[in-house]
Amino acid sequence: MKKDFDPRRLDVKSFAEAAGELEGHERLGDHPRLMAETGGRGADTRLAWSVTGEMRNPGHVHPEIWLHLTADTVLSLTCQRCLAPVDVAVAVERPFRFVQDEAAAMAEDDSSEEDLLALSRSFDLLELVEDELLMDLPVAPRHEVCPAPVKLAVADEGFEAEPEPRENPFALLQRLKTRKAE
């Protein structure tokens, strides 16, 4: 019988035992920590994610519990060169192994190259998605080629369209004088 799994309250072990699969997409606006990075831009941008559960070595006394996560979205960050918004695609694809508790995760973490998390019956998968995307952000986002700064472009146009040189004030004065004398 197929079980329903809730990504906000995931029973990780059952999910792995069932070789569960979940996927979804949501609004960027529902992730306040990502929205803080964009300064509020792109609330309606789509954030897609998927996860599969895996029980490795299920006959063993201590079978390994794994989740394989993917997530991607596009964030409107601030270009560190021109300070204009720049769209940056962020994507993660990462496996996590779940161990008995936080202490076990801490103890094993140094010696393990795997990403370890503590097993939970009510795991917030979407929180993990947000964590991982935040970690994938570039330190100094930049346009490959910055768009021409808008203000400078306007000034250039103004320069080209500058009117004819004004009449020499002395010539003007001369003409006034002439007229007076008439």
- The residue ranges that bind Zn ion (CB under 5 A) are 79, 81-82, 143, 146
CB of 149 to Zn ion, least distance (A): 9
CA distance 125 to 16: 13
CB of 31 to Zn ion, least distance (A): 25
The residue among 106 and 146 lying less far from Zn ion, judged by its C-beta, is 146
The residue among 79 and 116 lying less far from Zn ion, judged by its C-beta, is 79
The residue among 1 and 145 lying less far from Zn ion, judged by its C-beta, is 145
CB of 151 to Zn ion, least distance (A): 14
